Structure 1
Amino acid sequence: MAKLRNRESALRKLAAIPPAVRSAAKQALAQSADELTDAIRAAAPQGKTGKLKKSVAQTWGGGAVRYSALRGNVGQAGDPDLSVVISAGNSGVRYAHLVEFGTAPHINGGIFAGTEHHGTRAQPFFYPTWRRLRRRARSRISRAVTKAIKQL
């Protein structure tokens, strides 16, 4: 997450936003987060068990997802009420980044030391989906905020 300059000032300004506008922004953010989570889950490779698809989740409050290999932020980074993290991977699925980006051929270590791994091809599902839908999410939130401000 990027550092926010003058964080205290920005948080004061965010706190001064009228409740109706905050509510409209949160509803639009929730709709966008649901849409993005469903799209990422649909784009994830099925695999043998389907665990990767099931591991795609959203966490409100901007908190870090402990076992996530891939994560993207939606919403304002400075306000926990208007922040959601969408992630792929958890304690049982620690390979989401390997599926997304692939692996190069290499010599294994550990209990299979010395054996050769041929590598795997990348199967991007997380970031291409985010790039495809982020403009829609931003526009939806912007429209909701503008509409709520006009109704004040």
Structure 2
Amino acid sequence: MSRLKGSADLERRLLQIPNEVLTELRPALINGAHDIADAMEMLVPERDGDLLGSIAVTGPNETTPPYSAGGSVTLKANQAAVTVGNTDVRHGHLQEFGTAHHEAQPFMRPAFRLKKAKVMRRIASAVTKAIKKAGGQ
């Protein structure tokens, strides 16, 4: 079976695109997570600051803090996370959703909704830039 002239080069370049996209995507993911974390910090109900101090950003290929929602998880190369909670603070979900004795005071979901469009535009722009760069444009 014969290959088209240049197809090996094209195939090699196409296989490189995912790595180049991930390289360009990493800063966009981290900046987006920080945008959401900043909004959460502005919205978190403050009494003694423990919940505010437990908001953390985890970048691609890093591990989330223990006691964050879902426990400690190692993220993939195309993921970033904002978590709430640490070894001393484990009540973020109770604050967000409320309990039988405490009315909900959401701050996580509203922060995500406020920043989602901006973060998604930043990520799409990074992907587009990486693909154009990989294609030599």
TM range (shorter): 0.7 to 0.9
Correspondence for 1:85 among 57, 72, 81? 81
The one-letter code sitting in structure 1 at the alignment partner of 2:49 is G
* Rounded Cα–Cα distance in structure 1 between residues aligned with 2:51 and 2:70: 11
Name the one with the larger strand percent. 1
Give the match for residue 57 of structure 2. 58
* Rounded Cα–Cα distance in structure 1 between residues aligned with 2:20 and 2:70: 33
Unaligned 5+ runs, structure 2: 1-14
* Rounded Cα–Cα distance in structure 1 between residues aligned with 2:43 and 2:80: 20
Pick the structure with greater CA Rg: 2
Greater mean deviation of Cα atoms: 127-136 or 94-103: 127-136
Tell me how large the CA RMSD over aligned residues is.
Answer: 2.4
Shift of 1:63: 3.7
Q: C-alpha deviations, 1:51-109, integer Å up to 9, x for none?
A: 100100012326454201489xxxxx9x72222221111111111111111111xxxxx
**SS of 1:130 mapped into structure 2:** helix
Contact 1:100 1:123 in 2 (8 A): yes
Larger RCO: Structure 1 or Structure 2 (Cα < 8 Å, ≥ 6 residues apart)?
A: 2
Q: For this pair of structures, how many residues does the alignment match? A: 117
Contact 1:70 1:89 in 2 (8 A): no
Give the match for residue 113 of structure 2. 131
* Rounded Cα–Cα distance in structure 1 between residues aligned with 2:109 and 2:62: 19
Contact 2:33 2:80 in 1 (8 A): yes
Does residue 1:146 correspond to 2:128, yes or no?
A: yes
Contact 1:103 1:121 in 2 (8 A): yes
Q: TM-score, normalised by structure 1?
A: 0.67
Percent identity, aligned pairs only, is 37
* Rounded Cα–Cα distance in structure 1 between residues aligned with 2:92 and 2:117: 24
**SS of 1:51 mapped into structure 2:** coil
Correspondence for 1:102 among 94, 98, 101? 98
* Rounded Cα–Cα distance in structure 1 between residues aligned with 2:70 and 2:118: 21
The one-letter code sitting in structure 1 at the alignment partner of 2:82 is I
